[in-house]
Amino acid sequence: MNAQTARKIADVLTWSRIASVVPITVLAWYGLEWWVFGTYIAAALTDFFDGWFARRGTPPTTEKDLDGLADLLFTAMTVLWFWMLVPGFISKYWLPYLPLFLLLQAYIVPIRARHPQLGVPHLPIGRVTMAMFFSLLPVLLLWGDNTWFVHLVLATGTAATAQLAMVIARRRKLLRASGHLPEADVQSAADTAGSKENSSR
C-alpha cells in the first residue's frame, strides 16, 4: 500500500466517524440499545484504524486537525447518548468533570484555531484516554452503572485534557519567543507593550 492510499483510507475512516453520529443518535432516540452498541463500537474502532493508516500515509493536505475535530464531536455526542440511554448519568457524574472539561476546551480550541502551526500533540495518555472513554458507553449498556469505572475514565480524561492544555501552552510560549506570531497576535503584543509603556510614564 502506498502512502497516498493510506492517507485516503485514514480520511475516509475519520469522515465515517463523523457521519456515524447521525444514525447512532436516531437509534438512541428510539431506545434501540443493542443497535447503538454495535454501531457505536464500529464507529469507535475507526479512531484506532484511521490513526494506524495516517501514520503510514502522506501528511494531511490541510492544517486542520480533522481527526481531532472528529474525536471532539464524537466525545460530545457520546455525552448526549449517555443522557439518552443511561438515566441519571449526567446528573450523577457531571461534577466536577464537565465544567473542567469545558473550561480546558475553551482554552485549547481558540489557540489551536489561531495557531495551526502549533501542530497536534498526540500524547500517549490521550490515546489511552480515548480508548477508555469510547469503551464507557458499551460497558454501561452491558453491565449498567459501574461507579468506580466511570470515575476512573472521567478522571483520566480530565487529566489528559489538562496535560494537552499544558503542552499547547508551552508550544505557544515557544512560538511567541521565536517571533513567529500571526499578525493579530503581533498587534495584540504591540498594544500590550504600548499600554505598559504609557502606564510607566
pLDDT given at position 35 = 97
Judged against a pLDDT cut of 70, whether residue 117 lies above it is answered with yes
Quote the cell numbers at residue 196: 505598559
Q: How does residue 196 score in pLDDT terms, banded at 50, 70 and 90?
A: very low
Evaluate if residue 183 carries a pLDDT over 90: no
The answer to whether the Cα torsion of 96, 102, 103, 108 is positive or negative is positive
Q: Which residue do the cell numbers 502506498 mark?
A: 2
Q: So what's the pLDDT on residue 147? A: 94
Average pLDDT over residues 61-79: 87
Instruction: Report how far residue 112's alpha carbon sits from residue 191's, in angstroms, rounded to the nearest whole number.
Output: 22
